[in-house]
Amino acid sequence: MLYYSTSRQSPSVNFKEATIHGQAPDKGLYFPEHIPALPPSFFEEFATMSREEIAYTVIRPYTGDTIPDAELKRIVSETVNFPFPLVQVEDNVYALELYHGPTLAFKDVGARFMSRCLGYFVKDIRKKVTVLVATSGDTGGAVASGFYDVDGVDVIILYPSGKVSSIQELQLTTLGKNITALEVDGSFDDCQDLVKKAFTDDELAQHLFLTSANSINVARWLPQQFYYFFAYQQWKDKEHAPVVCVPSGNFGNICAGLLASHSGLPVKHFIAACNANNIITSYLQTGAYAAKKSVATLSNAMDVGNPSNFVRILEIFDQQFSSLKNRLSSYSVSDLETIESLIQLYRKHGYLADPHGAVAFHAVHQYLKQYPGDKAIVLETAHPVKFYDVVEPMIHEKVPIPGAIKGLLLQKKISIKMDADYAVFKNLLLSRE
């Protein structure tokens, strides 16, 4: 399998090169030259397969000959070694809980897979690899956990000051060793812009070996397909494919689901649940894409004004707007609607969602008003305890704290504060050479 740049001005590369470099030299994102079609035999044996077997079968065509089978099986096994339960919440709505991993968020899957792939690849590289990652919340903690103490890899995480939850901040600022947190006076988009500029800086490239751990990296993005297959394995009504609703910010997660669907996974329709940062909601209504400055919301991990991965969604659909619109709907949900959704879920159904999940539940209810006969899966992307300071005032109760988080609350944050200034960021990187 080779990967081309979405900007089409760079040579195609294999999975190893795409993983190591993160972004193409022409600033495009790497995309597979073809989308593998899963054979009918895969779904015939699907019910009895283990998570590891499903994940290995899905990812194997994408890695090509860059990772030996035995090593890939080890990587996959360590990536999915925690539960992914599909829980019925309402008569026709189910929640796929993706928060049972080490950092209580869906990004554990991509971060664990990528860190292990990169750890395998850098054995051949004499120069230390510096991983840059911008985070609006959960990515930072998942990447910090996945790459912690990995030999030959330094990780620098940029996050917007005051715009991540207290738990999220502790997860990405307390590990130390090879993990450095930069607290940026700005938005997530500012953090993402700094990272993107660094990748296109020729002077930096002469001094540092840079790669990305955001979902722009194929090794972060592609394994997110796994849990869509895990959801379908637990789906009882095989005669009727589910509608899948995904809380969406940078659009890597839903992009992975659309890719899985193109490979053969039965999904009737996708819903991108957005907060006030409704760029894609507007695009699907008008056909005109207009990036905007992000605004802060209760669902902070989705506060993205220019979703990087949407270009990949357009590639999946060959830039055909009508084809995309037939497969994808989007709803914009206000903070007030998010609060109402979260409270109603808890009071009426006894299900405690996090703010991002609450956005998705509201969106799926809007969809089901139009299509009441459908059944839907909502991706619950993070444990509500990660946003306890937002959730507890809504429900007027304490959110139960898992043991791992209790220890985290005793830790002290260590971060480097900086302005959203590329010259400052560049000098900081060069000083670490």
Q: What tens digit of pLDDT does each residue of 53-76 get? A: 999 999 999 999 999 999 999 999
> d(Cα 255, Cα 314) in Å, to the nearest integer?
9
Query: By three-state DSSP, how is residue 97 classified?
Result: strand
Quickly state the pLDDT bin for 362 (edges 50, 70, 90).
very high
In a domain, 292, yes or no: yes
> d(Cα 222, Cα 215) in Å, to the nearest integer?
9
In a domain, 75, yes or no: no
What local confidence, expressed as pLDDT, does residue 421 receive? Answer: 96
CB-count burial class (<10 Å; 0-12, 13-18, 19+) for 252: buried
What local confidence, expressed as pLDDT, does residue 390 receive? Answer: 92
The CATH number of whichever domain residue 322 belongs to comes to 3.40.50.1100
Closest CA to 413 of 213, 182, 248: 182
What local confidence, expressed as pLDDT, does residue 213 receive? Answer: 81
Of residues 314 and 401, the one with the higher pLDDT is 314
Q: Which of these is catalytic: 16, 107, 196, 386?
A: 107
Beta bridge pairs of residue 26:
none
Domain of residue 372: give its range: 83-106+221-398
Counted domains in the chain: 1
In a domain, 271, yes or no: yes
In a domain, 288, yes or no: yes
Residue with tokens 């901040």: 169
Let me know if 73 is a catalytic residue: no
Closest CA to 316 of 57, 36, 13: 36
In a domain, 210, yes or no: no
In a domain, 226, yes or no: yes
DSSP calls for 276-334: S--HHHHHHHHS----------SSGGG--SS-TTHHHHHHHTTT-HHHHHHHEEEEE--
Of residues 49 and 407, the one with the higher pLDDT is 49
What local confidence, expressed as pLDDT, does residue 5 receive? Answer: 98
Given a cut of 80, whether residue 433 has pLDDT beyond it is no
In a domain, 162, yes or no: no
In a domain, 150, yes or no: no
Is 184 in contact with 162 (CB distance < 8 Å)?
no
What local confidence, expressed as pLDDT, does residue 147 receive? Answer: 87
What local confidence, expressed as pLDDT, does residue 166 receive? Answer: 87
